[in-house]
């Protein structure tokens, strides 16, 4: 099966590798990337000798017989690239977020309604073993109907959003779209309900300062004492000063989401915690009991409210995105074969992106925002 790649960056290289592992008949046939010459010179082991490189998506689609397309460009062009592929009807793997502006969100929704091609959105958390177990517990009725959710994402590697290209808000769309989009999606998946409204708040308390715009760590006089310097973090790709005047993105954010049953979810994310303070997971609470989990530890606990019973499960989490990357890759291969439907559809991607965009709008306006939509 021939795969066309649009944007062969770091993230998509990982996913492509997972796809190629699923079936030996899969191969990267063509690539469109602004770094074509560099990629060719790198001779990446996942690519064969006969990969064709194109300057435009249109040239690739016209010049190749493809069985699927994978999009891994920077975030702001996800929508534009998807709109070029959807009319072909080819199975599409689309990195999140599916859109970074409301205008792009509306364009993508309209494009998919016109050309409903099969799409796998890169939401690996929803297909992890840990989320599938929690959903199974919730669906069983063991804890009763879920009436409240508390979710958190304390990111121990959050400096990447202030010291790498992610610091550009024009590319990321803000950190709800970068991080919370994953969490909102797995919450939606477990609940099996649609969100109706959201209110949110963000703050930027740490990663701000008066250092010159564009300053790199190696040129900063504080490089040997700053805890966020390359020498302290050991991350040479995080090269920009996170205390410069041009550093974008909030460093913490929270959202309250109301669902169609009347229940609500509280969600909070933070980007300056480090080491053991990192956490990512949620508590789903019903009248009968509570199920909680943490992706980082791999532990799921079920607490019954009316008996002293506690169940504990330990789930392996050492694979990419806690095992979700491999599951999504397998689903995309099945989609190209025509043997299975997508487990992470563009409708899921649009719903999560809308929730993030409306959370961002709420944080700017201080007002609740409606998030209802139907395909």
The tens place of each residue's pLDDT in the chain, 375 residues long, gives 999 999 999 999 999 999 999 998 999 999 999 999 999 988 887 788 899 999 999 999 999 999 999 999 999 999 999 999 999 999 999 999 999 999 999 999 999 999 999 999 999 999 999 999 999 999 999 999 999 999 999 999 999 999 999 999 999 999 999 999 999 999 999 999 999 999 999 999 999 999 999 999 999 999 999 999 999 999 999 999 999 999 999 999 999 999 999 999 999 999 999 999 999 999 999 999 999 999 999 999 999 999 999 999 999 887 778 889 999 999 999 999 999 999 999 999 999 999 999 999 999 999 999 998 877
Query: What number of other Cβ atoms are within 10 A of residue 160's Cβ?
Result: 18
For the chain, helix, strand, coil in percent to 5 are 40, 25, 40
Per-residue model confidence (pLDDT) at position 129: 95
Q: What is the pTM of this model?
A: 0.96
The H-or-E segment that residue 2 falls in is strand 2-6
Cα separation values, 346 from 98, 332, 333, 336, 372, Å: 8, 13, 17, 16, 16
Per-residue model confidence (pLDDT) at position 9: 92
Cβ-based neighbours of 234, under 8 Å, separated by 6 or more: none
Per-residue model confidence (pLDDT) at position 44: 81
- Cβ–Cβ under 8 Å, residues 85 and 58: no
Whole-number Å distance between alpha carbons of 187 and 201: 19
Cβ-based neighbours of 143, under 8 Å, separated by 6 or more: 137, 284, 285, 286, 287, 288, 289, 290, 291, 302, 304
Tell me if residue 29 falls in helix, strand or coil: strand
Cα separation values, 323 from 204, 243, 326, Å: 32, 35, 6
What domains lie within the chain, and their CATH numbers? 2-124+326-345 (3.40.50.720), 125-320+352-370 (3.30.360.10)
Whole-number Å distance between alpha carbons of 346 and 339: 18
Per-residue model confidence (pLDDT) at position 323: 87
Per-residue model confidence (pLDDT) at position 298: 95
- Cβ–Cβ under 8 Å, residues 252 and 202: yes
């Amino acid at each position: 099966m021939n795969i066309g790649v649009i944007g062969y960056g770091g993230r998509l290289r990982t996913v492509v590798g997972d796809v190629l592992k699923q079936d030996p008949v899969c191969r990267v046939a063509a690539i469109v990337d602004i770094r074509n010459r560099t990629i060719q010179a790198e001779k990446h082991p996942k690519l064969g000798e006969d990969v064709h490189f194109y300057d435009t998506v249109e040239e690739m689609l016209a010049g190749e017989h493809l069985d699927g397309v994978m999009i891994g460009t920077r975030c702001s062009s996800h929508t534009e690239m998807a709109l070029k592929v959807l009319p072909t009807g080819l199975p599409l793997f689309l990195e999140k977020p599916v859109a970074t502006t409301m205008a792009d969100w509306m364009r993508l929704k309209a494009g998919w309604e016109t050309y409903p091609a099969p799409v796998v959105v890169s939401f690996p958390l929803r297909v992890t073993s840990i989320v599938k177990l929690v959903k199974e517990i919730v669906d069983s009725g063991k804890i009763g109907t879920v009436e409240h959710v508390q979710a958190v994402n304390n990111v121990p590697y959050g400096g990447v959003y202030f010291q790498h290209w992610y610091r550009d808000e024009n590319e990321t769309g803000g950190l709800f779209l970068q991080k919370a989009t994953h969490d909102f999606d797995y919450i939606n998946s477990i609940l099996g309900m649609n969100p109706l409204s959201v209110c949110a708040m963000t703050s930027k308390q740490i990663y701000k300062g008066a250092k010159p715009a564009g300053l790199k760590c190696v040129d900063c006089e504080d490089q040997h004492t700053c805890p966020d310097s390359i020498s302290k973090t050991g991350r040479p790709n995080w090269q920009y000063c996170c205390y410069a005047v041009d550093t974008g993105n909030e460093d913490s954010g929270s959202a309250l989401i109301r669902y169609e049953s009347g229940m609500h979810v509280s969600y909070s994310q933070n980007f300056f915690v480090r080491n053991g303070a990192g956490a990512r997971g949620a508590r789903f609470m019903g009248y009968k009991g509570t199920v909680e989990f943490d992706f980082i530890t791999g532990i799921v606990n079920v607490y019954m409210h009316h008996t002293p019973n506690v169940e504990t499960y330990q789930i392996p989490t050492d694979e990419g995105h806690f095992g979700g990357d491999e599951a999504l890759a397998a689903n995309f291969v099945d989609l190209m074969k025509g043997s299975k439907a997508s487990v992470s559809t563009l409708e899921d991607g649009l719903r999560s992106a809308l929730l993030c965009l409306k959370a961002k709008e709420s944080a700017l306006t201080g007002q609740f925002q409606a998030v209802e939509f139907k395909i």
